[in-house]
Each structure stands twice: as structure tokens, then as C-alpha cells.
Amino acid sequence: MSYRETVIAYADQQAKVYQDIALAIHDKPEVSNYEFFASETLAKQLEKEGFETKLDVAGHRTGFTAVYRGAKPGPVLVFLAEYDALAGLGHGCGHNLFGAASSLAAASLKQVIDEVGGEVRVYGTPGEEGGENGSAKGSFVREGFLKDVDAALCAHPGTEKNILTGKSLACAPVDIEFWGKAAHASGCPEKGINALDGLILTYTGINALRQHVTPDVRIHGIITNGGDAPNTVPDYAKAKFYLRAATAPGLENLYQRVVSIVEGAALATGAKGRLQPYQNRVENTVPTPSFDALFLKELESLGETAEKRDEDPKGSSDVGNISQVVPTIQPSLIISAEKLAGHSEDFRDAAASEFGLTFVPRAAKALALTALDLILEPETLAAIKAEHAAAVAAQEA
């Protein structure tokens, strides 16, 4: 058997094991940094496959690494695994399939790695959907897990048509808080300092800012604390906001403008105001088209095709943080022929459907074969790395 045939045969042979894992994770949805069942199940399976695994990494108790070093030196390739669910909805983003497919891709590539050379890893990255200490990929980058890595690969479940890696927005999830002074709201309001007023002025200040930002910018938030009783001047108020822009410099500019709004509202009301991140900043995705072209070639060899993502980005993913430091692909492969809304009950159901489960071996094979190409064709890998470096540099210009 050729290397390719070995990889494909193993993915087919093991498909059911990983589909069952995807179903088990679907049955037990866990949110950001609480994915104990999912991370342990995937890590245990990879240990069975012969990987050296480590749980609780990069400051995330539900993060993991699985490493297999081949007998000969060669490229270090990482498959990124996500497995978090959405609060209240379950696996409405299909990350149960995502983590299982990346793990199967790694296990399949491992079958030939001693012969072709190199190293296969899976990074289990919690909390893609965000939350307290969410978007773990930023932590993996910060803590040096990508330093010796040549490329990163993963695939996301999608619907209607397969789509290659697209851009995504940089995003800063922040808490905005105000502290004032409680007082009877009618008896002695002059003694009080109204934290809620500080927050409301911030909210309207942000709305005034909207007219004067570039079209890529998205700002959206909720008020989570606005006081406890109408007859008491609120001494504490809190909002959670997402600030998004197409690039890191654009986001930083937006961030500072919102900081100024908070400072202005604090000055106006006498309340103390603070804006601070409650998790990693999510960076915009830098696509590497030649890497996607390689993936497309492999996908087509398996009888599927994919289109370029042409629309402007609206969402964000912490895969972006990885793509800022190594060439990265995250194509989306369909789990339903029909177009379904993301983060919906329909999407959640598709992620456990018969069609949905085909994602696991389909994505695993295409990703593993793409990684195999990177090992067998050093000049292709070098060209991809050069293109990626140029794309990263261009966005800073």
C-alpha cells in the first residue's frame, strides 16, 4: 500500500470509533473550560493510538496535547481539536465532530509517520465559543506551543457547500463595570453615586461611536447587572461587550475609543469605571491560499470539492490566533446538504445525524492527506510558509 492508501484505510477502519466519540460528546455538551468529558475522552483515545498525551495545559484544565514523534526528523504538524458546546443549546456549532475528526486525522497520519518522518500532534483547545478564560488557542500561542510547529490544520462543520478557509474578525470580549455609592433613591439621592448611569452613558456613547467606524467593525453587548432595587441608587453595574474589527490595529483603535467612552462616563457621573478583557483576545484569521489549494486538491481526490469564501467576515474564531503564527487551514465541510443557521437547534441536530457523522472520516482523510503532502513535498511546505509570512507581514504594513 502507498502512504496515501495506508492513511485512507486507517481512517476508514477507525471511523466508527471516532464517530461514537463524537456522538458521546454531543450527548454530554460542556461549555468553555468545563469540557472534562470531551477532553479526557479524546486524550484517552489518542493515548490508545500511541500518542503521548497531557491534560491541563496552557492554563486550561480542559486543554490537552497529544504528541507522536516519528522515527525520522521532519515537519511538526498540529491538528487543532475543538469540543466545547454552547450554553443552553448544546453542540449547535458541531464541535463534537470537530474534535473527533482532528483526532482521527492525527491517528491516521501517525500510521505512516515513522516512515515519512516528522511529528504529529493534536492540540485540544477549549472554549472556542468564548467565556471565562475562553478562546484557549491564544494561550497556546502565548505559552509557546506553536514555536516549533510548521503548520496547523483543522476543519469546521458547515452546511450547504464546502468552503475553504476564510478571513475572520479580530475580537476583544470585555467586561465593563462601574462602581458608585448606594443611597436611598428618593430619601437622599444626593448622597448616592449612580453606577448604572455610568454604564448607560457608556452604552449610548458606544452607540454614538457606531456612525464613525469602518464597516468591518462590530460592537455588541448586554447589561448583566443594573442594580437590585428601584429605591436604591445602584452602586454596581456591569455589561459584557464584544468589540470586533478586521485587523489587530483596527481592533486596538476601537478598544481605546471605548476605553475613552468609559472614562468619560466615569467623569460625568462620579462613578468609577473599568473596561477589561475577561478572556484572550481573538485575532483575525490570516488565510494562506496555497495551503488551501493543497487541501482542495486532496479533498477533490476524495470526490468532494469546495469553494472560496467570498463574503466579508462577520464572525471570529481563535483559530485566527494560530493563523497569526503558523500557516493554518480551517475549511468548512458540510454536515447537511440544506443551508442551516449556525448556533441553532437544526445545526445541533445535524451534528449528530447520519450525514453529520460522515464529517468525521471525510474531514480526517482530507486533513491527514494534506499534512502528508506537506511532509512528502518540502518545497510545497516552504512555499506555504513563505506565503504565510508575507501575508502576516502585509497586515502590519
Instruction: Give the nearer residue to Zn ion in terms of CB position, either 75 or 131.
Output: 131
DSSP three-state, residue 298 = helix
Instruction: Give the nearer residue to Zn ion in terms of CB position, either 239 or 363.
Output: 363
Q: How far is the CB of 159 from Zn ion (least distance, A)?
A: 12
**DSSP3 helix / strand / coil % (the chain, rounded to 5):** 45, 20, 35
Instruction: Give the nearer residue to Zn ion in terms of CB position, either 194 or 317.
Output: 317
Instruction: Give the nearer residue to Zn ion in terms of CB position, either 194 or 316.
Output: 316
- The region of 86-94, 109-117, 275-283, 378-386 touching Zn ion under the rule CB under 5 A is 86-94
Closest residue by Cα to residue 156 from 100, 90, 110: 100
- The conformation of residue 226, written as its DSSP 8-state character, comes to -
Q: How far is the CB of 144 from Zn ion (least distance, A)?
A: 25
Instruction: Give the nearer residue to Zn ion in terms of CB position, either 23 or 381.
Output: 23
Whether 64 contacts 54, CB under 8 Å:
yes
Residue type, 255: Y
Q: How many degrees, rounded to 5, is the angle at CA 328 between CA 327 and CA 329?
A: 140
- The conformation of residue 191, written as its DSSP 8-state character, comes to G
Instruction: Give the nearer residue to Zn ion in terms of CB position, either 110 or 348.
Output: 348
Closest residue by Cα to residue 62 from 89, 76, 81: 81
Q: How far is the CB of 105 from Zn ion (least distance, A)?
A: 17
Whether 3 contacts 111, CB under 8 Å:
no
Please tell me whether residue 352 binds Zn ion under the rule CB under 5 A. Answer: no
Q: How far is the CB of 170 from Zn ion (least distance, A)?
A: 17
- The region of 88-96, 111-119, 176-184, 359-367 touching Zn ion under the rule CB under 5 A is 88-96
Q: How many degrees, rounded to 5, is the angle at CA 303 between CA 299 and CA 305?
A: 55
What is the C-alpha separation between 368 and 120, in angstroms, rounded?
10
Three cell numbers, residue 383: 512555499
- The region of 29-37, 66-74, 87-95, 350-358 touching Zn ion under the rule CB under 5 A is 87-95
Instruction: Give the nearer residue to Zn ion in terms of CB position, either 93 or 243.
Output: 93
Q: What residues between 246 and 285 interact with Zn ion by CB under 5 A?
A: none
Closest residue to bound Zn ion by CB: 93
Q: What residues between 89 and 118 interact with Zn ion by CB under 5 A?
A: 93
What is the C-alpha separation between 290 and 393, in angstroms, rounded?
17
Using the structure block, give the residue that is written with the C-alpha cell 483543522. 154
Q: How far is the CB of 67 from Zn ion (least distance, A)?
A: 25
Closest residue by Cα to residue 222 from 207, 204, 240: 240
Q: How far is the CB of 131 from Zn ion (least distance, A)?
A: 13
Instruction: Give the nearer residue to Zn ion in terms of CB position, either 171 or 372.
Output: 171
What is the C-alpha separation between 122 and 52, in angstroms, rounded?
10
Q: How far is the CB of 168 from Zn ion (least distance, A)?
A: 11
Q: What residues between 121 and 160 interact with Zn ion by CB under 5 A?
A: none
Closest residue by Cα to residue 387 from 69, 145, 168, 165: 165
Q: How far is the CB of 135 from Zn ion (least distance, A)?
A: 12
Give the interface size with Zn ion as a residue count (CB under 5 A). Answer: 1
Q: How far is the CB of 128 from Zn ion (least distance, A)?
A: 6
The residues of the shown chain that bind Zn ion, judged by CB under 5 A, are: 93
